[in-house]
A and B are shown apart, each in its own frame.
Chain A
């Protein structure tokens, strides 16, 4: 257990439905990342937050995806009008940074496995 938790661990939904995932990072960590991992691949970056500010979004994050971190603590990732291609494991990670950017490792959650039928 890394201290990063995600909920739910598994989600099965029908195409066209909306889904929302939650990530609780390690409490003192100011940076929070979302990645997506498909079978046989390493995780691919989606977006990250510095406290409550979303600082970067990958081109993988289409308009149907939205992420929030309202109080700089937990984060949610919502997918609207899900498609079969959205089936993947959505992984959250967190780390702490110093003023100079830091040099600390990332801690990963267990992931949420999404299956779109």
Chain B
């Protein structure tokens, strides 16, 4: 069974700092990995999807990397803003087929202080 771990569980930074969120998974035979954002009491918003053949994916101030061999992904947020405050979750599908179960980490709760 795929196990996903996210470190740190919580992070508090001053506005403007660059930061890195970490995600690790136990089964490296994945097709892709998704990063999500969740605001309190709200649903999941997809941020980035990295295919297994990719090493990086970028969207605005966000950059996600994937190292399948080591079972790791990072989400880099540049020039953080108070509006970035949320919980960030990574998710990977079971095995090498994206059709089945998605496994989520427990998330990193980010607070950006103005």
Contacts and interface: CB of A to CB of B under 8 A. Distances in A.
Interface string B70-95: 00000000000000000001010000
A111 B43 contact: yes
A58 B101 contact: yes
Interface residues of A, number: 30
A73 interface: no
A50 B97 CA distance: 14
A45 B101 contact: yes
Interface residues of B, number: 26
Nearest to A92: B43
Nearest to A106: B102
B99 A31 contact: yes
Interface of B: 4, 31-32, 34, 36, 41-46, 49, 51, 89, 91, 97-107
Given A43-B91, A108-B44, A110-B42, 10 more contacts: A2-B46, A31-B99, A35-B102, A42-B4, A42-B107, A43-B102, A48-B99, A48-B100, A93-B102, A106-B102
25 contacts: A2-B45, A31-B99, A33-B102, A40-B106, A41-B106, A42-B4, A43-B44, A43-B91, A44-B104, A45-B103, A48-B101, A50-B99, A56-B101, A58-B101, A97-B98, A97-B99, A101-B99, A102-B99, A103-B31, A105-B34, A106-B46, A108-B36, A108-B43, A110-B43, A111-B43
Interface of A: 2, 31, 33, 35, 40-45, 48, 50, 56, 58, 91, 93, 95, 97, 101-111, 113
